[in-house]
């Protein structure tokens, strides 16, 4: 189907499958509204198919969509009359005309753009006659022996398979080809095409930074400015260097850059600062650095926009503002996570788990620590929102959108809060099997070892017993970290100190000096409860002596005595024991639980499960 040339992997797959007579009707889906890199040039998909892919192997090439009708990129002499009739045909006659062309002429290629608008998904009983006729026509083409015998082929182009009629997608005589997002080597080549001035080092850097972007977006970001704008910017930087560090140098340089348009640098120097040294080299370097920083910020902003727009609110882009410096207590946990963050930064992928499970009662800081860990890793971080839908098939479609974007971004941390609610249970049949399908797809994605060190899942839950057992096994969620309430007064004080720093509370009180009245009272309380007490003490100080008054020891002690949390002691103990049961290392447990035998833990869990197992 194509001459010997280096084709994209998906195009080579399409060529091989056609030569094996696998089908005459193909569906191209995925990244179809993008450029294609071939022979060192970037071309739109339809142009690539009609002018490069089918250049010497199709005598007639037709392109059809609802907006423009039928147009011919190439046509043989014997189909001239049919071509003229097809150019004027409306939708109701266009497919019939194309069918006549396919069964009467030889070596015809047809590209149907926006195929989902011609053969849309949906219940046939609610579709119009035109839609149903189009679906039947395209379905018939896949079986017509005249099309195959005349070496003809049809390509349906649709971005999302879920929007195309399932009668076509599930047809065994229709082959489906995924057009993926550009890989690293393709992005590097596109960066060099967009701006030939880039050094090899910069091209390699942008190949990493632009993961998740389409070639269209990469070329738009990296393309150099128009010559006139570039000349003015360079002239302004040159004049700014001549003027030195004067207070109004920047404003004067901007105005003089406009006035000196058309003058050479020597003429500008002679006019403004005769005898001054040439600042060209330094100015050029500064301009290049500024441009590089601006492009880096633009890439980061564009990636965030793509994540949030393409996933239609199904994910949230997280920008952590804090690291482990404001996380109090949990020294062993922080130590393990810091080592893991270093392995990710240094690219030691073999030492990075496939996923991590954070489990423990509510208010123990699971989300806070997850965001701090993401900050230490330095990777883009997204948080999954509720992707479940009441509409049939929408939940699975939402999940596929999310996973495809995650795969394209590459280096990313994925935070899933309340994992038991997000994934559900594969045992429930009340949702028509949606939960089992969702969990099966999540399992498949999370166990793909090619994602190790690139895509890290952090799943958080206070009810790990409601997660699918196979989801928690090694190879999917390798590390299981327990988050428990503070067990000693010293742990309470460490957490309180971190919360004082986080909330910028003014105080010089040594919390160890008021241990009996503060730390000892809050043992067994959640980190959220301790934060509430610290903020109550801050409010108490403001009421006593003014809004900017420092918090005294008395304020802390009174707040600890006054605080009255709402607690279900049995349920909280059950959640703690579940976290202990799930942990992957006894080293992370406090002495109270580390010394507990599995038999003792099992007996206590069974007793509590019978009492509170159905509570939330």
392-430 residue pLDDT tens: 566 777 777 778 777 777 778 888 888 877 665 555 455
Place of tokens 């010394």: 595
**What is the model's pTM?**
0.63
Report, as an integer, the average pLDDT of 460-483.
86
Torsion of CA 87, 93, 99, 104, to 10 degrees: -60
- Run of H or E including 98: helix 91-104
pLDDT band at 42 (very low <50, low <70, confident <90, very high): very high
Q: What is the pLDDT of residue 204?
A: 87
Q: Is the pLDDT of residue 2 over 50?
A: no
Give the pLDDT confidence of 68-122 residue by residue, as tens digits.
Answer: 889 999 988 888 888 888 877 777 788 989 999 999 999 999 999 999 999 998 8
Please tell me the distance from the alpha carbon of residue 104 to that of residue 255, in angstroms, as a whole number. 69
Nearest to 23 by CA among 171, 127, 124, 133: 171
The lowest-confidence range among 119-123, 239-243, 334-338, 512-516 is: 239-243
Q: Is the pLDDT of residue 35 over 90?
A: yes
Give the pLDDT confidence of 302-333 residue by residue, as tens digits.
Answer: 777 766 776 666 777 777 777 887 787 778 88
In this prediction, what percent of the chain has a pLDDT beyond 90?
25
Tokens read off for 332: 């062993």
Please tell me the distance from the alpha carbon of residue 569 to that of residue 331, in angstroms, as a whole number. 26
Q: Is the pLDDT of residue 4 over 50?
A: no
More confident call, 525 vs 328 = 525
H helices of 354-450, in order, are 366-377, 394-409, 419-423, 434-446
Q: Is the pLDDT of residue 225 over 80?
A: no
Q: What is the pLDDT of residue 72?
A: 92
Please tell me the distance from the alpha carbon of residue 53 to that of residue 57, in angstroms, as a whole number. 8
Q: What is the pLDDT of residue 275?
A: 60
Q: Specify the fold of 315-482.
A: Rossmann fold (3.40.50)
Q: Is the pLDDT of residue 3 over 50?
A: no
Give the pLDDT confidence of 566-597 residue by residue, as tens digits.
Answer: 777 788 888 888 888 888 888 888 888 888 88
Q: Is the pLDDT of residue 288 over 60?
A: no
- Run of H or E including 316: strand 315-318
Q: What is the pLDDT of residue 176?
A: 94
The domains of the chain are located at 9-180, 185-224+291-310, 227-278, 315-482, 489-616
Please tell me the distance from the alpha carbon of residue 15 to that of residue 3, in angstroms, as a whole number. 10
Give the other-Cβ count within 10 Å of 452's Cβ: 17
Decide if 92 contacts 130 (C-beta within 8 A). yes
Superfamily per CATH, domain 9-180: P-loop containing nucleotide triphosphate hydrolases (3.40.50.300)
Q: What is the pLDDT of residue 179?
A: 93
Exposed, middle or buried by CB within 10 Å (0-12, 13-18, 19+), for 147? buried
Average model confidence (pLDDT) for the chain? Answer: 82
User: What three-state secondary structure class fits 418?
Assistant: coil
Q: Give the strands of the sheet with 412-416, arranged side by side.
A: 315-318, 381-384, 412-416, 455-461, 355-359, 479-482
Q: Is the pLDDT of residue 227 over 70?
A: no
The lowest-confidence range among 86-100, 259-273, 440-454 is: 259-273
């Amino acid at each position: 189907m194509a001459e010997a040339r280096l084709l994209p992997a998906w195009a080579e797959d399409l060529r091989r499958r056609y030569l094996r007579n696998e089908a005459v009707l193909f569906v191209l889906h995925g990244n179809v509204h993008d450029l294609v890199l071939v022979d060192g040039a970037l071309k739109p998909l339809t142009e690539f198919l009609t002018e490069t892919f089918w250049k010497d192997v199709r005598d007639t090439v037709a392109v059809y969509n609802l907006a423009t009708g039928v147009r011919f990129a190439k046509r043989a002499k014997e189909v001239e009359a049919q071509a003229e009739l097809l150019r004027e045909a409306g939708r109701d006659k266009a497919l019939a005309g194309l069918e006549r062309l396919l069964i009467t002429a030889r070596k015809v290629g047809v590209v149907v753009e926006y195929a989902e608008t011609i053969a849309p998904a949906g219940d046939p009983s609610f579709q119009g006659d035109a839609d149903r006729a189009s679906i039947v026509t395209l379905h018939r083409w896949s079986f017509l022996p005249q099309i195959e015998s005349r070496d003809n082929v049809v390509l349906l182009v649709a971005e999302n398979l879920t929007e195309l009629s399932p009668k076509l997608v599930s047809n065994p005589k229709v082959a489906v080809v995924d057009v993926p997002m550009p890989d690293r080597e393709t992005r590097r080549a596109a960066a060099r095409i967009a701006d030939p001035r880039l050094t090899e080092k910069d091209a390699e850097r942008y190949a990493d930074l632009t993961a998740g972007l389409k070639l269209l977006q990469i070329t738009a970001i990296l393309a150099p400015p128009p010559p006139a704008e570039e000349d003015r910017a360079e002239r302004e930087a040159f004049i700014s260097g001549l003027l030195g560090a004067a207070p109004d140098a920047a404003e004067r340089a901007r105005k003089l850059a406009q006035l000196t348009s058309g003058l050479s640098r020597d003429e500008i120097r002679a006019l403004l600062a005769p005898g001054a040294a040439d600042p060209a080299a330094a100015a050029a370097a500064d301009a290049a650095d500024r441009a590089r920083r601006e492009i880096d910020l633009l890439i980061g902003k564009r990636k965030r926009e793509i994540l949030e727009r393409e996933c239609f609110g199904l994910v949230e882009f997280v920008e952590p503002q804090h690291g482990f410096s404001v996380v109090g207590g949990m020294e062993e946990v922080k130590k393990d996570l810091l080592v893991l963050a270093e392995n990710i930064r240094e690219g030691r992928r073999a030492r990075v788990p496939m996923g991590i499970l954070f489990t423990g009662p509510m208010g123990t800081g699971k989300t806070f620590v997850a965001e701090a860990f993401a900050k230490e890793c330095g990777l883009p971080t997204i948080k999954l929102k509720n992707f479940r839908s009441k509409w049939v098939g929408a939940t699975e479609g939402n999940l596929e959108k999310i996973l495809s974007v995650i795969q394209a971004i590459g280096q990313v941390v994925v935070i899933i809060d309340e994992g038991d609610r997000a994934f559900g249970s594969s045992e429930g049949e009340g949702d028509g099997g949606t939960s089992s399908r969702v969990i099966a797809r999540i399992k498949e994605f999370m166990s793909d070892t090619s994602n190790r060190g690139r895509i890290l899942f952090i799943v958080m839950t206070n009810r790990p017993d409601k997660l699918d057992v196979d989801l928690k096994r090694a190879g999917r969620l390798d590390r299981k970290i327990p988050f428990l309430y503070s067990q000693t007064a010293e742990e309470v004080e460490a957490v309180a100190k971190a919360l004082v720093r986080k909330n910028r509370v003014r105080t010089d009180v040594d919390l160890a000096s008021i241990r009996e009245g503060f730390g000892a009272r809050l043992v067994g309380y959640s980190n959220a409860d301790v934060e509430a007490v610290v903020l109550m003490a801050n409010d108490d100080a403001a009421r006593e002596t003014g809004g900017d008054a420092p918090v005294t020891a008395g304020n802390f002690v009174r707040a600890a005595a006054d605080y009255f949390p709402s607690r279900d002691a049995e349920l909280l103990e059950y959640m703690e024991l579940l976290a202990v049961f799930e942990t992957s290392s006894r080293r992370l447990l406090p002495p109270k639980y580390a010394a507990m035998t599995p038999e003792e833990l099992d007996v206590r869990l069974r007793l509590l499960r019978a009492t509170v197992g159905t509570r939330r």
